[in-house]
Structure 1
Amino acid sequence: MEPAEYDLMDAAEERMWWYRALHMRVMDALRRRPGPAGAVLDAGCGTGGLLRRLASLGQPLAGLDFSPQAAARAGAKSGALASAGDANRLPFRDGAFGALTSCDVLCHRAVDPPSAVAEFHRVLAPGGTVVLNLPAYQWLRSTHDERVHNDRRFTAGQGRDLLVQAGFTAIEARYWNAILLPLMILQRKVLRSDEAAKSDVAPFPPWLDAALYGTTVLEHGLARLGLRYPAGGSILLVATRP
């Protein structure tokens, strides 16, 4: 991403509703399917917000980001061992991790999704868990995607196919941010259709941030009761390396 986007991420990811909602879902997935004992890798860790939350699992942590500056920030923020590297060629031995997370990474123009997912499979131990978050729908692409160097968005079926082709099993692929999808469409396709539009990552008024986060909490609670959403702004995938 552009350095300015990393700055925005670093400042916002502890409090902004979007990051808190994403991290809640990743943490819930890992608690449900922790994988074997061992270290957890966040591949594409950015400035370390998720790594900081993963510390509550009490397992050794590692982070990797394409940007050395972002990796340094992530290490300082989380206390994890974070380094610079390429998701297409992970600098780790086979079977090194019990679990792996990767949020909004396969969409980046520098990443080849089949290569990266094959690498995720390689560095996980047998029985290891992978948790991915992907942006949904190519038609929802906006100027924000340009700023963060996103070349592609996905459907749940496309995400599932990537995991199947890499050899993962027990795959869950679920849309989320469903209730807020109409507002997302309005923001991305109507209100911010010009090239001068600001980044989607920004501080929100406290009342609005609380309302948006509360909506995602309600949606997540309904999903845990069994409700499945046919569409959403993002896709969370959970799978096992056999």
Structure 2
Amino acid sequence: MQDAAPGAKVNAGRFLRARVPRSGPGPALLSPPHRCRTRAVEAVEYQLMDEAEDGLWWYRALHARVLDVLDPRRAGEPVLDAGCGTGGFLMRLRQARPDRRAVGLEFNPEAAARARAKAGVHVAVGSVNAVPFADSAFGGVVSLDVLCHTAAEPDRALAEFRRVLRPGGLLVLNLPAFQWLYSAHDIRVHTKQRFTAEGVRALLAAAGFSEIRTRYWNSLLFPLMVLQRKVLARGGDSPSDVSLPPPWLNRSLHAATGLERRAAAAGLRFPAGGSVLATAVRA
């Protein structure tokens, strides 16, 4: 995959630059829906993601975590969801923080159209490797399970995120944890790599960010995730983890993430988890 012609423009005021590919979906029964897909991965996966992300326990837990860390002091400044998929977080942000202007960026044109319809905001078609927005355009950048993707170049993407952030602006990343947990799901959704908290911290420091914080989450359910990925669905022909569990199980899993979220708010840090959540500030 490669970027479009450098002169391509996105019709959105002062926003400019090129179009390029990025990602898609992926929820599971017990493992997180890391949205790391190529364009070839398929309209059906975006459709499943679009239908699931409003109610599925993992999306709800992730979106709540991200909303917890967004800086309320910059409430009047726009937020970019870089690699927004079908718009679940954009919709959640508009519902929870109506004072914050939200903008999306998504490679897949069909997913971008779904995101526009779902969230009612502008969604540009473009790449995290060449973000089609002006310097210092945003007070916050959110990118959820995108830098793990085969088409993403983390160093370039982080340089772009820093460029479009205003001084003092906040970057929020979520990424899948632990390369040893790489599985059939990752192959199907074109995940290039999984991360550790230390590795994410090093990437952010090298990109020039400050006030870096990293933490594991989806920790209480982590043993079940390992069972799902490494035992129950370890075969090379296993499908991706895009599936809605029965309502009772969905509620139970979400309750576990809520308990963990409260523990984290009280200061408890977990040594491992299914995901790494990171925040950093543009100096």
1:211 correspondence with 2:211: no
Cα distance change of structure 1 residues 36 and 95 upon mapping to structure 2, 3 Å threshold: farther
C-alpha distance in 2, partners of 1:75/1:234? Answer: 27
Match of 2:162 among 115, 118, 121: 121
Aligned partner letter, 2:87: G
Partner of residue 80, structure 1: 121
Q: TM-score, normalised by structure 2?
A: 0.83
**1:46 alignment partner in structure 2:** 85
Q: Which runs of 5+ in 1 are unaligned?
A: none
Following superposition, the deviation at residue 36 of structure 1 comes to 6.5
How many pairs align? 241
Decide which of 10, 13, 17 is 2:53's aligned counterpart.
13
Deviations 1:103-141, CA, capped at 9 Å, x for gaps: 000000000101101110000001101110010001111
CA RMSD of aligned residues (A): 1.1
Deviations 1:149-192 (A, max 9, x none): 11100000111111111111111100001111110000000000
Residues 72 and 83, structure 1, Cα contact 8 Å, conserved in 2: no
Contact 1:49 1:78 in 2 (8 A): yes
Aligned counterpart, 1:198: 239
Equivalent pair of 2:46/2:86 in contact (CA under 8 Å):
yes
Q: Normalising by structure 1, what TM-score? A: 0.97
1:58-77 aligned at under 5 Å gives the runs 58-77=99-118
SS of the residue corresponding to residue 280 of structure 2 reads strand
Q: Name the counterpart of 1:143.
A: 184
Unaligned runs of 5+ in 2: 1-36
Aligned-partner SS, 2:240:
coil
Which is worse superposed, 96-105 or 193-202? 193-202
Letter in structure 1 aligned against 2:67: M
Whether contact under 8 Å (1:33, 1:129) holds in the other structure is no
Q: Could you tell me which of 204, 212, 219 is aligned with 1:171? A: 212
CA distance in structure 1 between the partners assigned to 2:137 and 2:170 by the alignment: 12
Deviations 1:196-235 (A, max 9, x none): 3232121111110011010001001001101000100001
Aligned-partner SS, 2:276: strand
Contact 1:34 1:99 in 2 (8 A): no
Question: 1:36–1:127: 8 Å Cα contact kept in structure 2?
Answer: no
1:170-189 correspondence to structure 2 within 5 Å: 170-189=211-230
- The answer (yes or no) to whether the contact 1:95–1:125 under 8 Å persists in 2 is yes
Deviations 1:84-105 (A, max 9, x none): 1010110111000010100000
1 or 2, which has the higher helix percentage?
1
3-state SS in 1 of match to 2:62 = helix
User: What one-letter code is carried by the residue in structure 1 that aligns with 2:88?
Assistant: G
In the aligned structure 2, how far is the partner of 1:132 from the partner of 1:224? Answer: 18
Q: Percent identity?
A: 55
Instruction: Decide whether aligned partners of structure 1 residues 147 and 178 sit closer, same or farther in structure 2, where only a CA change above 3 A counts.
Output: same
Superposition misfits of 4+ residues, deviation over 2 angstroms: 32-37
Residues 6 and 47, structure 1, Cα contact 8 Å, conserved in 2: yes
The answer (yes or no) to whether the contact 2:91–2:119 under 8 Å persists in 1 is: yes
Specify the alignment match of 2:13 in structure 1.
Answer: none
Q: 1:141 to 1:196 in 2, by over 3 A?
A: same
- Structure 1's 8 and 49: CA in aligned 2 closer, same or farther, altered over 3 A? same
Name the SS of the counterpart of 1:99 in structure 2. strand
Report if aligned partners of 2:75, 2:100 keep a CA contact under 8 Å in 1: no
Q: CA deviation at 1:143?
A: 1.3
Which residue identity does 2:260 align to in structure 1? Answer: E
